[in-house]
């Protein structure tokens, strides 16, 4: 299988992508990947135990736009093979046991609904119970409009749970990937003990098109990109995906010692 790099236009073979952590050989552009690929990259020998795998969103508002939300959920589950926009797993990363929650943009734009919030909340409870560090990998368009206030409530819910994790003195790394926007940015994604991002990742609340339309001005070329966010002090560092496993395990090892 061949894929065209969206940045430089070069053609990449599937085997080359996996070997290089889905980073373009030619321009170092970080291709968008999902939880399956991140788990393969991070967990030793690709071995992990998925947590809370059977949680599925309901349709409390009986929402309907171009189609019923209940139908959209069923179609998306069939299309992606995912139950919702996040997966939680526990396993060893360079020998360090931890919990990794990873969002999937393929599931309704990685939108945060009640299941996303609940999985993060349960993951934090699991970390506290088992004294394990937490890594959350964000990739999201923001809150899920089909769940309205139920979705927005997850911002407060996840933030409150992370406060309990901090009280328990258990470390949490937040990794922001392309894109991390909306209510996810305004809650758990920016609350890490260490906030990191992949190169070139879009990170912000409202998108650049919305902001440009509101202020009626041109925006800087690197606006809301990880490098600019780092310069403004909202990130601790940017990490190349090929070094992610080593950097995450190194930080948790330092904290443990």
Q: Would you list the domain boundaries of the chain? A: 1-31, 33-256
pTM above 0.75? yes
Q: What is the pLDDT of residue 149?
A: 94
Q: CB neighbours (10 Å) of residue 191? A: 17
> What does the alpha-carbon distance between residue 85 and residue 72 come to, in Å, rounded to a whole number?
13
| Cα dihedral value 197, 202, 207, 213, nearest 10 | 130
Are the C-beta atoms of residues 110 and 136 closer than 8 Å to each other?
no
pLDDT for position 2: 83
150: which 2 tokens?
A: 């139920």
Taking the chain, what is the end-to-end CA distance rounded to the nearest angstrom? 44
Q: Give the C-alpha separation, 27 to 49, whole Å.
A: 34
CA within 13 Å, CB half, 209:
0
Residue 3: predicted pLDDT: 85
User: Which contacts of 14-22 are long-range, i.e. CB under 8 A and separated by 24 or more positions?
Assistant: 20/242, 21/241, 21/242, 21/244, 22/241
**Using alpha carbons only, how large is the chain's radius of gyration in Å?**
18
Beta strands 237-238 and 172-180 are: unpaired
Neighbours of 105 (CB within 10 A): 20
Residue 1 has a pLDDT of 76
* pLDDT score for 257: 61
- Give the residue among 75, 73, 39, 72 at the shortest CA–CA distance from 56: 73
Closest CA to 72 of 34, 35, 111: 111
Distance (Å, rounded) from C-alpha 156 to C-alpha 117? 9
Pairing type for strands 11-13 and 49-51 reads: unpaired
At 177, give phi and psi (nearest 5°).
-115, 180
Residue 102 pairs in a beta bridge with 87, 137
Q: What would the CATH number be for the domain defined by 33-256?
A: 3.90.226.10
Beta carbons of 255 and 133 less than 8 angstroms apart: yes
Average confidence (pLDDT) per 10 residues, the chain, 257 residues: 88 87 94 97 97 95 93 97 98 97 97 98 98 98 94 97 97 97 96 97 86 79 91 96 97 83
């Amino acid at each position: 299988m061949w894929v065209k790099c969206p940045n430089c236009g070069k053609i990449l073979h599937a085997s080359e992508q996996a070997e290089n952590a889905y980073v373009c050989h030619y321009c170092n552009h970080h291709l968008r990947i999902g939880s399956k690929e991140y788990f393969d990259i991070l967990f030793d020998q690709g071995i992990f135990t998925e947590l809370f795998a059977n949680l599925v969103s309901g349709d409390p508002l009986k929402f309907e736009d171009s189609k019923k939300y209940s139908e959209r959920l069923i179609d998306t589950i069939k299309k992606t093979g995912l139950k919702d926009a996040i997966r939680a797993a526990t396993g060893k990363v360079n020998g360090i046991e931890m919990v990794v929650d990873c969002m999937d943009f393929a599931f309704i734009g990685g939108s945060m609904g009640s299941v996303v919030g609940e999985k993060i909340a349960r993951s934090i409870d699991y970390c506290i119970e088992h004294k394990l560090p937490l890594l959350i990998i964000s990739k999201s368009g923001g809150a899920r409009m089909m769940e309205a206030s139920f979705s927005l409530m997850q911002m407060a819910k996840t933030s409150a749970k992370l406060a309990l994790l901090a009280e328990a003195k258990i470390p949490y790394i937040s990794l922001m990937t392309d894109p991390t926007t909306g209510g996810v940015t305004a809650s758990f994604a920016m609350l890490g003990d260490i906030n990191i991002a992949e190169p070139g990742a879009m990170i912000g609340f409202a998108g650049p098109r919305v902001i440009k339309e509101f202020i009626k001005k041109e925006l800087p070329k690197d606006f809301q990109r990880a490098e600019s966010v780092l310069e403004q002090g909202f990130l601790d560092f940017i990490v190349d995906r090929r070094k992610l496993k080593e950097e995450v395990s190194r930080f948790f090892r330092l904290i443990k010692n």
